[in-house]
Structure 1
């Protein structure tokens, strides 16, 4: 075992349908080369699951199992976990993700720099059903994973992906927690709660930054229902809607800074790559991927407009 910084790990769960996934997530944290000070499992308004997880895990000494007494949803559950945490650093892992054995060791790298407010790692899709050939890697954020266009090496980013992030406790003490009116509730495919929080933190500490550390790896299970065209479209629309809520709250200049680069650089490259695959390699799925990028961007834009006008 490697000695490291004191870190609390928060895992939020809401459904028995992910029971095996939840146990795997907890076990992956228990097996870390750098152990967590505590593992906090927050059950989101599900008494049966709360009792079930108590029976299964209460014998593990550094596990704290709590019921979310705040507003239902991922933001409320995370805020509940934050209040329980005792460590100066709080890491978040999704209940359907599995951390690599050196996850905590790698994700804390860079924290000796006091300007680093938090660190996020790579989120690798673990497909339970192979994605369709039309699915563009530029849109892996649709399934909560690291997408094409992200840095290949450690780099400053606007915000980590919520499935794999570590934040300093001071963030919550100075700017508050995750907003309950932003973020996923059950299966509703909205999000961006970590985006909004990190922008607030940067506004409070203008010299601060968030770091991307691809060596800190988790695998994120992607069920078959999230590989469909319907889910792709719904998630793109919901992303735009969520970004509109953020822009109205904190301003579009900060709220859409990363999206401008993504739109002007990453997406055109993806479209050209798809067209080249079709024309030069006779990979006709390339045309489908290019079309999916255009459709995904269009739906995200529509969602943003609707969210901004409402």
Structure 2
């Protein structure tokens, strides 16, 4: 059987991550499974594009031809890929040496449409005491409650994911109305495309393989209460957009289980640690969970109201006036 060919797509948009971007590219060079193609897509930043071309000559560097934003950049990579599998890395997510090998191994099953891996946070100034692992999705990482062994899931995590190329092209790529636009903390484009990929395909599976590891840099400001609440609000708005597209049942199944199971345990654990003196930050952890749940729910309800309009523009307006802006 002919080995599957693989393209790695790295999307970048800012020169502020220059050093990290070079580290990500180096981590792809050092893979135990050598990719057939490496594409670095620059999201509407000509200076970064020109600078990278001068320094790096062993990967293909292109400018995004899509709308500004992560989804447009990823679609540019999909359009240029010439392989069976396309794997995606963020410009601040460094891959472990066997990352690609472990992702591709799951595609021996023809029913597997996409495989994602574990994303571990690398905190720039250390994890804040009030920031429990249950909330690591806020910083684009795997959170407590996800499977510990390879398992079927609804969707993969954007910083560490792969798809069959034919699947991406069949569904028309990533929805450019969703996903992060520069520093605007929207998301859920990977959730939506995973749902669309499996709709109408009985037996098709999305798999999470925690052994396929990347380490994701988390700057200090993303550990702040302000960012925590802003990301929660925007996640609610993004989930409302996805619900409008694919329906509530498909869009919110895992979230309901997370709210019923993972979050109550996190609250009780935090209060218990605080009351026993085992961890003085326990009460803060519990409070953060409740605040995140409240802001995400509020964002979702607000997003439901605006879902029939121009989703991206309305979401930006909502973020400008969101209640977390008042948090100091």
Give TM-score, length-normalised by structure 1: 0.96
Shift of 1:107: 1.1
Q: For residues 74-129 of structure 1, what are the alpha-carbon distances to aligned partners after superposition, in whole Å with 9 as ceiling and x for unaligned?
A: 00000001001000100000000100011111111221111111111110001111
Question: In 2, are the aligned partners of 1:4 and 1:105 still within 8 Å (CA)?
Answer: no
1:203-214 alignment to 2 at 5 Å?
A: 203-214=199-210
Number of the residue aligned with 2:138: 142
5 Å-filtered alignment, 1:104-119, equals 104-119=100-115
Deviates more, 1:276-285 or 1:71-80: 276-285
Aligned counterpart, 2:159: 163
2:29 is aligned with 1:33: no
CA shift, 1:45, in A, is 0.5
**Partner Cα separation in structure 2 for residue 187 and residue 46 of structure 1:** 14
Q: Distance in 2 between matches of 1:36 and 1:137?
A: 32
Residue 90 (structure 1) aligned with residue 116 (structure 2): no
TM-superposed deviation, 1:4: 5.4
Q: What residue number does 1:181 align with?
A: 177
The unaligned stretches of length 5 or more in structure 1 are none
Distance 2:50 2:100 in 1: 28
Following superposition, which runs of at least 4 residues in structure 1 exceed 6 angstroms of deviation?
none
| TM-score using structure 2 length | 0.91
Q: For the residues of structure 2 that align with 1:107 and 1:232, how far apart are their CA atoms?
A: 30
CA RMSD of aligned residues (A): 1.1
**What secondary structure does 1:66 align onto?**
strand
Q: CA deviation at 1:236?
A: 0.5
In the comparison of the two structures, how many residue pairs are matched?
A: 305
Q: Distance in 1 between matches of 2:15 and 2:131?
A: 29
Q: Alpha-carbon deviation of 1:232?
A: 0.4
Q: Aligned residue for 1:8?
A: 7
Q: Distance in 1 between matches of 2:285 and 2:214?
A: 26
Aligned to 1:302: 298
SS of the residue corresponding to residue 205 of structure 1 reads: coil
Q: C-alpha distance in 2, partners of 1:53/1:282?
A: 49
